[in-house]
């Protein structure tokens, strides 16, 4: 499969539109006709697909822990508000990009990933997703039910749950975002990946703002229409620029991402309101 970079990308959540040249496609799984996720390789990358023309997740085969897609790098901006979270939960596994990055670069953090599709979990080895251990756990289950039942002690909740139709209803309702708020510890952070071109994007954003009393900002992804919504369970918002820049300095000591550039984008987003 070849990615023609000069063509505009169409992104649906984690999905990215690509051109396929059959003679250059290496299909690792052939589940497309069975409505199951499958894999393709192109240009040194491995991609998770729900449909032939769009990828749900991508991984560099040579650097499996790297964040290939811009929206995943943008989601990690939440660390500028809390650089050392103790407990993170993620809704949606996909190819495990966010889970792998956090597992490697946040060695003291407990990470739980909830994925509703067993066929996605079945592909975890293809994406070099770590085995479950004392601080990392991939669960088969409904993310909305998990959030509703959790104990209110999460430092961060990352929501990146999509299916072939987009964002499921149970992961975008007002009650779901209310449950997200309740699941967080004081000063906890919700990070949501939304598709900015979706006609319902303003509605989803308004629901998050309502649940979090407008303690919300939006960071754009560098290479797609994705909008990353960051909401904080706090009465002191926004965080000051000095604190964000201090955290960027700390993170740059142990992370490969350019957190100085991310701090500038986050500060600009906060100032724009």
* pLDDT tens profile 233-253: 998 899 999 999 999 999 999
Predicted confidence at residue 8, as pLDDT, reads 31
**List of long-range contacts for 196-203, beta carbons under 8 Å, 24+ apart:** 196/220, 196/225, 196/226, 196/227, 197/11, 197/225, 198/12, 198/166, 198/167, 200/172, 201/227
Please name the residues in contact with 150: beta carbons below 8 A apart, sequence gap of 6 or more.
Answer: 89, 183
Looking at every residue in the chain, the average pLDDT score rounds to 86
* Crossing angle of the two packed helices 259-272 and 241-251, in degrees rounded to 10: 160
* pLDDT tens profile 78-122: 999 999 999 999 999 999 999 999 999 999 999 999 999 999 999
101 vs 221: CA distance, rounded Å:
17
Mean pLDDT of 122-148: 96
Q: Decide if pLDDT at 35 tops 70.
A: no
Q: Are 228 and 77 in contact (CB under 8 A)?
A: yes
Predicted confidence at residue 13, as pLDDT, reads 34
Reported as half-sphere exposure (CB side, CA atoms, 13 A), residue 143 has a value of 29
Q: What are the structural domains, with CATH classification, of the chain?
A: 11-60 (no CATH), 70-272 (3.40.50.150)
Q: Give residue for tokens 């060695």.
A: 107
CA 233 to chain centre: 19
- Selection from 45, 58, 57, 31 nearest residue 119 by Cα: 31
Active site residues: 160
- Selection from 127, 123, 130, 142 nearest residue 102 by Cα: 130
Higher pLDDT, 20 or 148: 148
Q: Is the peptide bond before 82 cis (omega within 30 degrees of 0)?
A: no
Predicted confidence at residue 29, as pLDDT, reads 42
Q: In what order do the strands lie in the sheet with 154-159?
A: 136-140, 110-115, 87-91, 154-159, 184-195, 226-232, 216-220
Q: Are 93 and 129 in contact (CB under 8 A)?
A: yes
């Amino acid at each position: 499969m070849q990615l023609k970079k000069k063509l505009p990308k169409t992104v649906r959540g984690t999905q990215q539109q690509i051109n396929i040249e059959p003679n250059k496609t290496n299909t690792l799984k052939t589940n497309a006709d069975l409505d199951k996720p499958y894999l393709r390789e192109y240009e040194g990358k491995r991609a998770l697909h729900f449909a032939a023309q769009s990828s749900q997740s991508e991984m560099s085969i040579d650097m499996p822990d790297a964040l290939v897609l811009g929206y995943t790098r943008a989601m990690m901006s939440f660390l500028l508000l809390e650089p050392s979270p103790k407990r993170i939960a993620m809704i949606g596994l996909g190819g495990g990009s966010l889970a792998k990055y956090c597992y490697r670069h946040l060695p003291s953090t407990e990470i739980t990933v909830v994925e509703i599709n067993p066929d996605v979990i079945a592909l975890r080895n293809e994406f070099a997703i770590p085995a479950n251990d004392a601080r990392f756990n991939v669960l088969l289950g409904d993310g909305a039910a998990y959030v509703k039942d959790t104990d209110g002690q999460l430092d961060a909740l990352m929501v990146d749950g999509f299916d072939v139709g987009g964002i499921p209803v149970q992961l975008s309702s007002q009650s779901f975002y209310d449950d997200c708020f309740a699941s967080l510890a004081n000063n906890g952070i919700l990070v949501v990946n939304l598709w900015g071109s979706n006609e319902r994007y303003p509605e989803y954003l308004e629901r998050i703002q309502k649940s979090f009393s407008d303690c919300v900002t939006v960071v754009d992804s560098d290479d797609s229409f994705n909008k990353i919504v960051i909401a904080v369970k706090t009465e002191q918002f926004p965080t000051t620029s000095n604190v964000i820049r201090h955290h960027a300095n700390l993170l740059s000591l142990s992370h490969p991402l350019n957190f100085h550039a991310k701090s500038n984008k986050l500060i600009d987003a906060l100032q724009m309101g």
